[in-house]
Chain A
Amino acid sequence: MIYAEHLRKEFKKVVKDPGLKGSFKSLFKPKKEIVVAADDVSFHVPKGEMLGFIGPNGAGKSTVIKMLTGILTPTSGQCRINGKNPQTDRKKYVREIGVVFGQRTQLWWDLPLRETYSVLKEIYEVDDDRFKKRMAFLNEVLDLEDFMSSPVRTLSLGQRMRADIAASMLHSPKVLFLDEPTIGLDVVVKDNIRKAIMKINKEEQTTVILTTHDISDIELLCDRIVMIDKGKNVYEGSLRQLKEKYGNIRELNFETAPGFSLTEDEFRSGLELGEDKMTVEKDKNIFKVRFDSTEMPVGEMLNYTLSHAKVKDISFKEADVEEIIRRLYKQGECENE
């Protein structure tokens, strides 16, 4: 379905020395620097799969998505989706895909939302009957009715994102590219959006590529992940495998009651977890503990904490992509030694 082969993208960037002198210099003799945003990225996604495409900020995820959607032309390498080359068959190709860039909108800014959909209906040549059914479906999962008549520029971020997701699904695309579709959203909206994605994947075998920072997006939606960093492939497999390999990292946050004193070392002392299995940070009376829950189950950690500290507030959190990457490198360094 989706084949990405040795994708590489270089950007030329003009670097400027600081100050007025630097500005002048770059005006007459621009110093160019090549930024490699994607470097030999390859992967394959079969039909109907939901792939989590993850990596830290600046890893090159958006660049790869832009190449896959025909916006950017790779410096070298190529991609084929549905047997089409996005660069050479752009017009035909984009008919079969839906795209959402979390930081942008494809809705018509000054038009009421409803009109954006009738515009898209014409652009994608969706017939009346299908359109009606589709809108009813999208309305149901994404709850658009309340702001259907509002101009897009007046929508809140959460409303806009739901509307954008709906716009990307209107023409029943075979492939959905979602670049950070849940960025900055609250839990309820995230949940709405995940449901819509899941439903469409189940009912229409839509292939989905999703980039995100939120591990729970991946956990709930994705069969498999591809991880890149600094433009290079670093991991491919299931999230479960990744966790088995690099530990299922949880983050414990707790605040000690006023007047109760506890140091990092005191907290550590009762546990037999090395530096690579647990890190403890303390800021005033707030503790942040990252630990491997395969070594120490969450329940045990909770008991331990409650019995060793007078706690005012406590919460557990799944580690984010950045944390997993950090672990990945730590482990890599250890293996190299």
Chain B
Amino acid sequence: MNRIGKRYVPFMKAGVQTLIAYRLNFFGFVIGGLIYCIVMFYLWKAVYDSAGGDSFLGFTMTEMVVYLFLANTTTQLTYSTVSGDIGDEIKDGSISMRMIKPVDMDWSYLFTELGAAFMKVVVLLIPVTVGLEIYRYCMLGEVMFRPLNFLLYFLSVILAYIISFRVNLCFGFVAFYVKNLWGFNILKNSIINFLSGSLIPLAFMPDVMRTILEYMPFASMGYTPVMIYMGKYSAYETAFRLGIQIVWAAVMFGISKLIWIGAVKKLSVQGG
């Protein structure tokens, strides 16, 4: 295990190096997300003001704010760039260099990205959580932070990331068949954003739709952890939702392995 770890850690180092080289991009991404949250905040505030009540579809304004920031943070934490990265590596041919090394493709991509994931926990998750808890304290006058919920949230985020990574890996492998994935990727991201509830809480959707979406992998990629953090699930339901996440992680793992077997036969790298 130690040996295996050592073999993939270099990919993580390289990932962090790239991140540092392109740190402006990274912070642009983070700050863009926060600006988006602030805009959404005023939007929802207008909705709440015009609705006139304390609560709207089971969410108080305070909860809505927590949801908004946390959903955005969670989406960023679980966001995987691997599909785009694979596409780029195929286009410039550097994927060859990955293939001539005695490593599994999926693990090497995972580790390349993990550095960025740790970075996001430090610069995004921790500040946002602290900020939200101060906000909740100011609004409600009591400490709402539940360490157990936070731990379960974190566990759920890890599962969400695994699912998101695997889904993106599958999309990335499709680039072996289709050369230009740019438009495809944008479409994919919008669909995931909507179906995972990071745009609008799934709780706001019609019952039938919500139930279906809650069972789909998309909810597992963002909605589930946020609801766990907010304490919207009972103990039983939390366990159930985590179970669904585990099932999806396993399913996507299997599917990505299968697609790889087919895709590798289709790979065509140009040049040298």
A residues bordering B, Cβ < 8 Å? 11-12, 14, 62, 66, 69-73, 87, 90-92, 94-95, 97, 99, 101-106, 108, 110-111, 115, 119, 122-125, 179-180
User: Once the chains are docked, how many angstroms separate the CA of A119 from the CA of B11?
Assistant: 9
Given contact pairs A70-B99, A106-B100, A125-B3, a sample of 15 additional A-B residue pairs in the complex whose CB atoms are under 8 Å apart? A70-B100, A72-B269, A73-B265, A73-B267, A87-B265, A94-B101, A94-B102, A97-B100, A104-B93, A104-B97, A104-B272, A108-B14, A119-B13, A119-B14, A123-B103
Q: Is B104 an interface residue (CB 8 A)?
A: yes
Q: Which residues of A contact B14 (CB under 8 A)?
A: 108, 110-111, 119
Question: With the chains together, A97 CA to B102 CA distance in Å?
Answer: 10
Quick one: closest A residue to B99, CB to CB? A71
Say whether B9 contacts A122, CB under 8 Å: yes
Which B99-118 residues have C-beta < 8 A from chain A? 99-104
A residues less than 8 Å from B13 (CB atoms): 111, 115, 119
Q: Which of B3, B21, B99 contacts A110 (CB 8 A)?
A: B21
The 8 closest A-B pairs by CB, nearest first: A103-B272, A119-B10, A110-B17, A95-B102, A73-B265, A122-B6, A99-B100, A106-B97
Mark contacts of B167-182 with chain A using CB atoms, 8 A cut-off: 1 yes-contact digit, 0 otherwise: 0000000000001000
Chain A residues contacting B266 (CB-CB under 8 Å) are 73
**Contact pick for B94, options A72, A97, A104, A125, CB 8 Å:** A104
Contact indicator A101/B272 (Cβ below 8 Å): yes
CB of A145 to closest CB in B, whole Å:
22
B228-272 vs A, CB cutoff 8 Å, 1 = contact: the mask equals 000000000000000000000000000000000000111111011
**What are 5 A-B contacts defined by CB distance under 8 Å?**
A71-B96, A91-B104, A119-B14, A123-B103, A179-B272
Does B93 lie within 8 Å of A125, measured CB to CB? no
CB-defined contacts of A91 to chain B, threshold 8 Å? 102-104
Give A245 to B9 CA distance when docked, in angstroms.
54
